[in-house]
Structure 1
């Protein structure tokens, strides 16, 4: 069992970062969201289970830093027709916990529920999200984000927003 984080200031900073990231996603603040990533970042949404090998099995999203930038540019074009008009989205984040620490990298996990209202109707996305947060000059950035959707073993509606 992992020992609880006793540094309340650190825990509060982690919570604030994760809540701010969720708010940027909800507000479609794509450029600001993109700035939260490190240069060596990985953004991963696995398919068909949470513990697959993304290099040998299909993923819903498996983006490196360059691909994250391309994804944001695509969202900014206004040509994502499933996002015209943009979905109304709200992220609900719970059970934030530190799961490990190595140097400047802090492993954090949480449960997330995303409510999406769009022209096609309403969808609820539930997931376990695992982060590797890196403390760079006193500010956190995401080195890794893995979003393991609860229903990733079934056909999914178009996921054309930031989860």
Structure 2
């Protein structure tokens, strides 16, 4: 009987991991293709999008961040990107990202804590840039689908000057 229970638990974990992976892969594709409305729809109403500056374990309420958006500000950011008037994104960057090391850290009720690494290749008129990130997500099951309640993007080089970060990272 224990072997059956263990097998069922393993299958459930693998199923959850696959669901989380597919969600993160979709989010990456939407970011890379500038599908802003679809990306914005991935967020919960209380979502937080955070890209810290000057370290990874900072307090966004007390120190500067590259991005620290609540749900309302996420919508404003998307509206700005859709205008086509962001000087650093004219023409907009071509992006390709690779996600790896997707790890479910914990699950409590409908919330899942996840970590993943990403490498983002950006090509624009200024040249080519490679961004490396360590991401932390709080995903939530809402009406049977995953949504992002929190996304923290830890730029590996966030202790150095960042000349422009005007796309969805």
The answer to whether the aligner puts 1:87 opposite 2:93 as a matched pair is yes
Q: Deviations over 1:27-57 (max 9, x none)?
A: 0000100000000000000001110000000
Task: Identify which of 22, 44, 48 aligns with 1:16.
Answer: 22
Q: Which runs of 4+ in 1 moved over 6 A?
A: none
Higher helix share: 2
C-alpha separation in 2, matches of 1:134 and 1:56:
27
Equivalent residue for 2:121? 115
Q: Which runs of 5+ in 1 are unaligned?
A: none
TM-score (norm 2): 0.92
TM-score (norm 1): 0.96
What aligned pairs does 1:32-111 form with structure 2 within 5 A after superposition? 32-111=38-117
Deviation at 1:5, TM superposition (A): 8.6
Higher-Rg member (1/2): 2
C-alpha separation in 1, matches of 2:76 and 2:105:
30
Equivalent residue for 2:7? none
C-alpha separation in 2, matches of 1:50 and 1:103:
27
C-alpha separation in 1, matches of 2:108 and 2:56:
23
In the comparison of the two structures, how many residue pairs are matched?
160
Change in Cα spacing, 1:102 to 1:155, as seen in structure 2 (3 Å) is same
Pairwise CA RMSD:
1.2
Q: Which runs of 5+ in 2 are unaligned?
A: 1-9
